[in-house]
Structure 1
Amino acid sequence: MAIIGSRIDGRLVHGQVANLWATKLDISRFMVVDDAVAENNIEKQGLKLATPSGVKLSVLPIEKAANNILAGKYDSQRLLIIARNPEVYLKLIEAGVPIEEINVGNMSQTDETKSITKSINVTDEDIKVFEKLVEKNIQINAQMVPGDRREDFVKLLNNRK
């Protein structure tokens, strides 16, 4: 399978993803999965500018991303899936995409969020979705950059409830 990593990051493609994660995981394609961004040409252009040379970029709605992955379109590539929230991953998994592990990076703070770490903030709805992912035996960890220690996200989440 071509999926090398799956990351939740509200910033999608940015310096940490483009430089550190892409290099560490030897990524050949970023797949940003986001229904709204897939329809927004300005956001797509920004993502293209942030993508390092030598790495391909796909910006797809959830259904098309699942169909492309399941059809084997990226089997010869090293794919990093990036989404803003856990709901995208739940939908991909329910569509049959074989994701075993999710790395939680930056999730921005809003009036509706609870702080889990200094850079991870979740809504009550996010918590419900993370719980559904755990029920599906998905391993979830928190790690901002490759040099940081990986932490069990579920433990972090349970400590903050």
Structure 2
Amino acid sequence: MSIIGVRIDGRLIHGQVANLWTTKLNISRIMVVDDEVAENAIEKSGLKLATPSGVKLSVLPVEKAAANILAGKYDSQRLLIVARRPDRLLRLVQAGVKLEEINVGNMSQTPETRSITKSINVVDADVEAFKELKAQGIRLVSQMVPSDRADDFMNLLNK
């Protein structure tokens, strides 16, 4: 399997993902998995600009991402999957993609969210998606940058 890392980050590609995680994990392709972003030409252009040189970028809806991964399209690459919210990754898993670990990064605060940590904010639907991902045997950690300790995300969520 070519999936080296999986991260939930509301900002998608930004300094932490583009510089720190991509370098630490020696990533050759970043895959943004999000139906809405895949249809938004302006947002895709911004993501292309934020992607480090020498790293390929795919911005795909969940179904297409799952089909490409399962077909072995990225087997020779080191893939970092990034999604804005956990439901995208749950759909990816339900489509047959095997994920071992998900790093829960930044999830922005809105009037509808409640705070889990200073940078992770969730709504009830996110909590349900996290519980389902955990039930699928996926390890959920919270680690903002590679130098931070990886905390068990479900312990944080259940506080």
- Shorter-chain TM-score above 0.5: yes
Please, which runs of 5 or more residues in structure 2 have no aligned partner?
Answer: none
User: C-alpha separation between the residues in 2 aligned to 1:125 and 1:93?
Assistant: 17
User: C-alpha separation between the residues in 2 aligned to 1:2 and 1:101?
Assistant: 13
User: C-alpha separation between the residues in 1 aligned to 2:22 and 2:32?
Assistant: 13
What SS does the aligned partner of 1:133 have?
Answer: helix
1:32-111 matches, cutoff 5 A? 32-111=32-111
Partner AA of 1:30 in structure 2: I
User: C-alpha separation between the residues in 1 aligned to 2:2 and 2:88?
Assistant: 18
What SS does the aligned partner of 2:13 have?
Answer: coil
Query: What is the aligned residue count?
Result: 159
User: C-alpha separation between the residues in 1 aligned to 2:114 and 2:40?
Assistant: 29
Aligned to 2:24: 24
Q: How large is the Cα RMSD of the aligned pairs?
A: 0.5
Please, which runs of 5 or more residues in structure 1 have no aligned partner?
Answer: none
User: C-alpha separation between the residues in 1 aligned to 2:100 and 2:91?
Assistant: 14
- Runs (4 or more) in structure 1 with deviation over 3 Å come to none
Deviations 1:111-149 (A, max 9, x none): 111101000000011001111111111100000100111
What is the TM-score of this pair, normalised by structure 2? 0.99
1:142-161 matches, cutoff 5 A? 142-159=142-159
User: C-alpha separation between the residues in 2 aligned to 1:45 and 1:112?
Assistant: 28
Identity of aligned residues (%): 72
What is the TM-score of this pair, normalised by structure 1? 0.98
Partner AA of 2:113 in structure 1: T
Partner AA of 1:133 in structure 2: L
